[in-house]
Amino acid sequence: MTPNVAAEAVAHWNTRWDSTPFDVYKRERRAAYRVRILGRAPASELEERMRVQKNYPDVDIGPPEETLETDYAQGGLPTESLIPPRTTPVDAVAVLAQTIVERGARDPKVPQVLEELAHYIKQVSTSTDSKLSSPQCATLLTACKIMFSVWGADGAAATFVPRFFKNICQTEQSLGLSAEQEEQLTSMTKEFSTV
C-alpha cells in the first residue's frame, strides 16, 4: 500500500472492516473511548452499547505465569523478538503499545509483547536523551489500561499482567508522560508493587 493514496486507503479500509463506513467506525471508537477509557457515564445508546461490549474472552487468555517463567528460564522456547534489530527503544515502545491497542488481549503473543514492552520501557526510562512523544505516551497509557482492565476482569486468566506492571514500576516519571498520564500509570503500577 502506497502512503497518501486515497483510493488505496479506502480499499484497505473496506477490506479490513467489511465495508463499515469510516464515520460509523469513528463514532463507535469515540463512544468507546469516552465510556471505557475516560470512564464517563453513557450519554447515548451507542455509548451504552460500547460500555457493555466485551473485547476479551471469558476463557483463559494465556498460559500460567509459572509456565512462562519456566520456559524462558530453561530456554525451552526460542522466541524471536517482535522488534527488528537497530530499532530505537522509543520506537519499540510505540510499536509494541500500538500492537496491544490494535490486537487486544486475545492475541496469543501478548505475554511476549508485554515482556518486550517492559524491557524497552526500562531502556527509555534510563535514557537521558530519548523520551516518548505525546501521541506515543497516549498509546502506551491506552495499552496499559487495556491490560489492567483485562487483569481486573479475570486476574487468574491474565497471570502475565502483574509481572509486566511490576517490571515497569518506578519508570513512570522518566518516560515523558504528562502529569495526568504519569498519575494514571502510577496508580496502575501501585496495584502490583506488593503482589
Q: Please say whether the beta carbons of 169 and 72 come within 8 A.
A: no
Per-residue pLDDT, 71: 44
- φ/ψ (deg, to 5) at 44: -150, 170
Per-residue pLDDT, 59: 52
- CA 135, 117, 166, 53 torsion-angle sign: positive
Domain locations in the chain as residue ranges:
6-52, 65-190
Per-residue pLDDT, 9: 77
Per-residue pLDDT, 88: 92
**What tens-digit pLDDT sequence spans the chain (195 residues)?**
556 788 887 777 777 667 677 788 889 889 988 998 888 999 999 999 888 887 655 555 555 555 544 444 444 455 688 888 889 999 999 999 999 999 887 788 899 999 999 999 999 998 888 889 999 999 999 999 999 888 877 766 678 888 998 989 888 888 888 889 989 888 888 888 765
Per-residue pLDDT, 56: 58
Which residues are within 8 A (CB) of 171 and not within 5 positions of it... i.e. 6 or more apart? 121, 122, 124, 125
Per-residue pLDDT, 6: 82
In this structure, which amino acid lies at residue 43?
A: A
The pTM of the full predicted model, rounded to 2 decimals, is 0.59
Which residues are within 8 A (CB) of 128 and not within 5 positions of it... i.e. 6 or more apart? none
Per-residue pLDDT, 28: 87
Q: If residue 127 lies in a helix (H) or strand (E), which one and from where to where?
A: none
Q: In the structure grid, which three cell numbers stand for residue 69, read together?
A: 517463567
Cα gap 98→104, rounded to integer Å: 10
What is residue 40's DSSP assignment? Answer: P
